[in-house]
Homo-oligomer: A and B are copies of this chain.
Amino acid sequence: MRIDVLDKPNILSNVRVVLSHTTHPGNIGAAARAMKTMGLYQLYLINPRYFPDPQADTMSAGADDLLRNAVVCSSIDEALEGTVFVAAMTARLRDISHEVLTPREAMPLLAQHAAQHPVALLFGTEMSGLTNEETGKSHVLVRIPANPEYSSLNLAAAVQVACYELSVAMQYAGLNLRQVEVVPARHEEMERFFVHLEDVLREIGFFNTKHPNKLMQKLRRLYARARLEQEEINILRGILSAMSGYNARPGKNESGRE
């Protein structure tokens, strides 16, 4: 299914982030900030140890609206009510495991479901992660590939990565956010530049002991790789003109040039 660009806000509003039994309120605030940077707004908290809390407010920075609107629940079922798909984040590999996907594999699935129905991204408590009850109510487990010697992502960092992948999964619904407008140089402008460059290099004697063709090939390769813009061609040709002009200045040669 292709997700239309216009639907993105609606899809995102169908995604709730559920934090279960979070111990440190600072993590709730930081998670809210991470969510909001990726365009997610629906925060659900299952029995947070401290909430609301000044530390949560501080860490949320400008995302305190998510905290004010957070839905505090007393059970996993309450938090997941109405959802059709639950992706549970885990750091561990389990014995009786569900399907374990990477975020890159899982988030397109989540986005697909979210196009029509509420879905949830579920995060366990900081120290022990998800309970068996929680994984049992999930559709897929999602594990962020991590350093085998140190796999302990901070809770908000895991929220950031998961929401980032979800957001990217949605953006690959066709849009490419190249914001800056550039005007690439046209072929004939490039060619004029190379003629100009070769002329000036000859004038200043650069080719005396070298092989013009080979050198010009190398310079072509360099500037081709740069994918020159029109404005840059103008600058470079300006430099070449200044060079010639400098040499041609009256008084520069005794007899002067016109």
Contacts and interface: CB of A to CB of B under 8 A. Distances in A.
Interface of A: 30, 33-34, 36-39, 61-63, 93, 97, 100, 102, 104, 144-147, 150-154, 156-157, 160-161, 164, 167-168, 171, 177-180, 201, 203-206, 215, 218-219, 222-223, 225-228, 231-232, 235-236, 238-239, 242-243, 245-247, 251-256
26 contacts: A37-B146, A37-B147, A37-B157, A38-B146, A38-B147, A93-B179, A102-B168, A102-B177, A144-B164, A156-B157, A157-B160, A161-B164, A164-B164, A204-B243, A206-B238, A206-B239, A218-B235, A219-B235, A225-B226, A226-B226, A247-B247, A253-B253, A253-B256, A254-B254, A254-B255, A254-B256
A160 B153 contact: yes
A152 B239 contact: no
A258 B215 CA distance: 25
Number of copies: 2
Given A37-B151, A218-B231, A254-B253, A145 B171 contact: yes
Given A177-B145, A253-B252, A239 B154 contact: no
A232 B222 contact: yes
Contacts of A30: 154, 157
A221 to B, nearest CB: 8
B201 A242 contact: yes
B37 A204 contact: no
A138 to B, nearest CB: 15
Q: Which 5 A-B pairs have the closest CB atoms?
A: A226-B226, A206-B242, A204-B246, A39-B147, A157-B160
Contacts of A223: 226
B204 A34 contact: no
Given A252-B253, A256-B254, A239 B144 contact: no
A145 B157 contact: no
A202 to B, nearest CB: 10
Nearest to A227: B225
A228 B232 contact: no
Contacts of A150: 36-37, 62-63
A215 B235 contact: yes
Contacts of A232: 218, 222
